[in-house]
């Protein structure tokens, strides 16, 4: 059998489909990571993590019991306010070094899309989506810090986007060693741009407004990967990478279904401006459940 049949091609239809399925899974995964960051930050400060709100048209929230009445304004609440930004950023940073050990094209594309969505959706878009009650802005406000420091978040997201684009281009060189500039841009456009833009457009349609700052900060990592594709020409991987398997694609379909099921249960928009949420533990007198949240309460919480 000729060698070309064993060579993974990042631009082949099944590779593109696998990449898009990975992106479809990575959107809810990035928002779940953001919620986990806030919940774990609260647990670290001796609070209680009692639920989640994976809102589609505003920033996500971990539902928590605050350990003290003035918890939100204390330095102990740093993890609570910044966890929704930090954990997706950390996930994106960690994924690229880990991807160097993966030996399948499916695994490589999943790592790339997970890191990509964690940056654009988790660490950029949703951080700036709510200018009044946004987590990063509220933390700066409580500590009398300049609101302009929020822009450190997209700067770090831009820096973390560089290895993602370079890794994708390196994989694309396996099948075609000499990539033209137009083809490099095409690879990045087809793999890394459609789903972040589609998610932002969906959010804008649901909320009925165009959050200018959120569009800018999410657009910066998108622009970054296009610039990298325009000027960059990384070396191909040095180890063997096997093509995409149908079994891996099926696993992605199942994972994406579970992720979007969680999004529908714990974040879909409801009537009268309400947003679905999930609550799995009792709330205390000092909790952060907002009036726009409509939590589904687990059966064991009923009297």
297 within domain boundaries: yes
Number of domains in the chain: 1
Is 3 part of any domain? no
Phi, psi for residue 233 in degrees, rounded to 5: -150, 70
In a domain, 2, yes or no: no
Question: Which residues 6+ apart lie within 8 Å of 162 measured at CB?
Answer: 224, 228
Residue 21 lies inside a defined structural domain of this protein: no
Is 98 domain-assigned?
yes
**254-277 pLDDT, tens digit each:** 999 999 999 999 999 998 889 999
Mean pLDDT of the chain: 90
Question: Containing domain of residue 45, as a range?
Answer: 26-301
Rounded Cα gap, residues 229 and 226, in angstroms? 5
Average pLDDT value for residue range 24-50:
96
pLDDT of residue 199: 93
Residue 182 lies in a domain: yes
Whether residue 245 has pLDDT greater than 60:
yes
Looking at the domain assignment, is residue 16 inside a domain? Answer: no
Looking at residue 6, its pLDDT comes to: 61
Q: Which of 125, 124, 126, 241 is nearest to 174 (CA)?
A: 241
User: Among residues of the chain, what percentage have pLDDT more than 90?
Assistant: 68
Lowest mean pLDDT among 125-139, 141-155, 261-275: 125-139
Taking alpha carbons only, the member of 206, 223, 237 closest to residue 161 is: 223
How much of the chain exceeds pLDDT 70, in percent? 98
Residue 155: CB partners within 8 Å, gap ≥ 6?
A: none
**pLDDT value, residue 3:** 41
Is the pLDDT reported for residue 208 higher than 90? no
Report the pLDDT value the prediction gives residue 234, as an integer from 0 to 100.
82
Q: Of the given ranges (4-8, 40-44, 155-159, 226-230), which has the lowest mean pLDDT?
A: 4-8
Sign, CA torsion 270/203/26/136: negative
Say which DSSP state 47 is in. -
Asked whether residue 19 is domain-assigned, the answer is no
Q: Rounded to an integer, what distance in angstroms lies between the CA atom of residue 83 and that of residue 122?
A: 11
């Amino acid at each position: 059998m000729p060698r070309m049949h064993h060579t993974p091609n990042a631009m082949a239809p099944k590779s593109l489909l696998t990449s898009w399925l990975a992106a479809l899974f990575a959107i809810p995964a990035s928002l779940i990571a953001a919620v986990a960051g806030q919940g774990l930050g609260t647990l670290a400060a001796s609070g209680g993590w009692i639920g989640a709100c994976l809102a589609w048209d505003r920033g996500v929230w971990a539902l928590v019991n605050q350990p003290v009445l003035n918890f939100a304004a204390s330095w102990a609440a740093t993890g609570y306010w910044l966890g929704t930004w930090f954990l997706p950023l950390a996930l994106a940073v960690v994924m690229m070094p880990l991807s160097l050990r993966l030996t399948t094209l499916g695994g490589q594309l999943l790592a790339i899309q997970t890191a990509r969505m964690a940056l654009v959706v988790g660490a950029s878009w949703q951080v700036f989506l709510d200018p009044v009650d946004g987590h990063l802005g509220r933390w700066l406000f409580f500590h009398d810090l300049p609101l302009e420091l929020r822009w450190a978040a997209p700067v770090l997201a831009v820096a973390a986007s560089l290895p993602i684009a370079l890794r994708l281009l390196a994989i694309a060189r396996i099948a075609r060693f000499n990539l033209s500039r137009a083809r490099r841009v095409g690879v990045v456009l087809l793999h890394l741009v459609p789903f972040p833009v589609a998610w932002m457009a969906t959010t804008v349609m649901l909320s009925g407004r165009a959050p200018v700052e959120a569009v800018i900060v999410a657009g910066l990592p998108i622009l970054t990967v296009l610039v990298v594709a325009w000027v960059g020409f990384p070396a191909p991987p040095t180890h063997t990478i096997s093509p995409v398997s149908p079994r891996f694609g099926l696993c992605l379909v199942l994972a994406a279904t579970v992720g979007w099921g969680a999004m529908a249960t714990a974040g879909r928009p409801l009537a009268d401006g309400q947003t679905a949420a999930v609550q799995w533990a009792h709330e205390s007198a000092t909790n952060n459940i907002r009036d726009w949240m409509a939590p589904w309460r687990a059966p064991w919480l009923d009297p």
